């Protein structure tokens, strides 16, 4: 595992050559700032609300890698004073699906910072997020000597067909996609890295009902007190050293955890699936997006009589999808 981690570090140092600075404002970062890292491509429609949401949550500075967008995303981000953005025209797949770029930015700029690593369609929630900024959470985690914090990905969806959930730039996506699956999840333990592996939810039952083991993983460890010795090895599903993956209790009780509300299942999905299927830059030759494109032609509906309308984080805790643990 130590050698594997060193190889990951060497990979990210080599891949730093892919990153061309466009607007770098890292001199404004102070010692206690909470940072956010994201790799994007053609997400201009999502970015205004994404930035607003995380600014209100308490993120102090954003570090973006733009993978050759042509929809104005790069120009939009370059005009934001609390954003640093790099352009990468190189292969997303050959950069370990963006993980090499993420690891380099984390190593270079996030050492000793709490940092949130998310996709532009993921919205982090945690216990008391409606009344406490993210700095309250990270201060508490520091006091408990906790270095990593888990969040289950929860796919949100509309009541009717995805194509009818028309999304407008700057809109809160959960105004049109407020439903989620309260159950229908499977959990196993990854013997290599020691992390939980969670699958299920609406994408599994609609897009992967015949091959549920190919459904996307829903386990994430997005919030970490970063150290330059750390690396992500598979998106934000697992880290090295392995101890960072111990974000759950095996001997009774519950560790504090959060959730990521996932705004993928809206009207933008069809166009995104077609683009990524043609590019072939995602995992398993973009097999996930291929499944989306094939099934979207039938205008599937995710809503069923077991669907739950999202209210707040306390609802997710009652359902067992996150926990406040002993944070009071």
Judge whether residue 279 has pLDDT over 70.
Answer: no
pLDDT digits (tens, 9 = 90+) for 99-115: 999 999 999 999 999 99
User: What was the pLDDT predicted at 274?
Assistant: 76
User: What was the pLDDT predicted at 287?
Assistant: 60
User: What was the pLDDT predicted at 146?
Assistant: 96
Evaluate the omega torsion of the peptide bond into residue 241 and state whether it is cis, within 30 degrees of 0. yes
Q: Which of 27-31, 93-97, 219-223, 297-301 has the lowest mean pLDDT?
A: 297-301
Confidence of residue 272 (pLDDT cuts 50, 70, 90): confident
Confidence of residue 251 (pLDDT cuts 50, 70, 90): low
Confidence of residue 84 (pLDDT cuts 50, 70, 90): very high
Percent of the chain at pLDDT exceeding 90: 84
User: What was the pLDDT predicted at 291?
Assistant: 74
In the DSSP assignment, the letter for residue 216 is P
Supply the mean pLDDT for the chain.
93
* Contact indicator for 133, 151 with CB cutoff of 8 Å: no
Average pLDDT on 291-305 reads: 80
Judge whether residue 250 has pLDDT over 70.
Answer: no
Q: SS3 of 100, please?
A: helix
The Cβ of residue 110 has, within 10 Å, a number of other Cβ atoms equal to 27
Distance CA 131, CA 124 (A): 14
Judge whether residue 73 has pLDDT over 80.
Answer: yes
User: What was the pLDDT predicted at 302?
Assistant: 93
Confidence of residue 284 (pLDDT cuts 50, 70, 90): low
Distance CA 136, CA 129 (A): 9
Q: Which of 222, 221, 307 is nearest to 265 (CA)?
A: 307
**Number of alpha helices (DSSP H) and beta strands (DSSP E) in the chain:** 9, 15
User: What was the pLDDT predicted at 285?
Assistant: 47
Across 43-95, the runs of DSSP E, i.e. the strands, are: 61-66, 83-87
pLDDT digits (tens, 9 = 90+) for 201-218: 999 999 988 888 889 999
User: What was the pLDDT predicted at 271?
Assistant: 81
User: What was the pLDDT predicted at 269?
Assistant: 87
User: What was the pLDDT predicted at 210?
Assistant: 86
pLDDT digits (tens, 9 = 90+) for 127-142: 999 999 999 999 999 9
């Amino acid at each position: 595992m130590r050698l594997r981690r060193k190889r990951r570090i060497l990979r990210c140092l080599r891949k730093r050559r892919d990153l061309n600075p466009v607007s770098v404002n890292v001199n404004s970062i102070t010692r206690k700032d909470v940072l956010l890292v994201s790799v994007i491509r053609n997400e201009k429609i999502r970015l205004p609300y994404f930035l607003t949401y995380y600014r209100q949550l308490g993120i102090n500075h954003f570090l973006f890698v733009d993978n050759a967008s042509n929809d104005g995303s790069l120009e939009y981000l370059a005009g934001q004073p609390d954003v640093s953005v790099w352009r990468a025209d190189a292969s997303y797949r050959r950069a370990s699906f963006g993980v090499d770029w993420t690891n380099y930015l984390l190593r270079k700029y996030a050492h000793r910072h709490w940092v949130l690593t998310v996709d532009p369609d993921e919205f982090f929630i945690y216990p008391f997020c409606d009344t406490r900024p993210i700095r309250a959470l990270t201060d508490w985690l520091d006091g408990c000597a906790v270095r990593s914090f888990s969040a289950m990905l929860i796919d949100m969806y509309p009541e009717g067909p995805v194509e009818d959930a028309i999304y407008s730039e700057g809109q809160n996506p959960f105004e049109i996609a407020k439903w989620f699956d309260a159950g229908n999840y499977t959990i196993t333990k990854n013997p290599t890295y020691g992390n939980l592996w969670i699958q299920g939810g609406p994408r599994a039952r609609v897009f992967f009902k015949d091959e549920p083991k190919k459904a996307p993983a829903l386990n994430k460890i997005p919030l970490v007190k970063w150290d330059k010795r750390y690396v992500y090895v598979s998106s934000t599903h697992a880290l090295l050293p392995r101890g960072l993956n111990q974000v759950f209790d095996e001997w009774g009780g519950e560790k504090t955890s959060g959730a990521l509300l996932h705004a993928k299942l809206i009207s933008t999905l069809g166009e995104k699936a077609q683009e990524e299927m043609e590019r072939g830059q995602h995992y398993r030759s973009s097999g996930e997006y291929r499944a989306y494109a094939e099934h979207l032609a039938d205008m599937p509906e995710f809503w069923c009589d077991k669907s739950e309308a999202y209210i707040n984080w306390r609802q997710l805790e009652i359902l067992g999808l996150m926990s406040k643990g002993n944070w009071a």
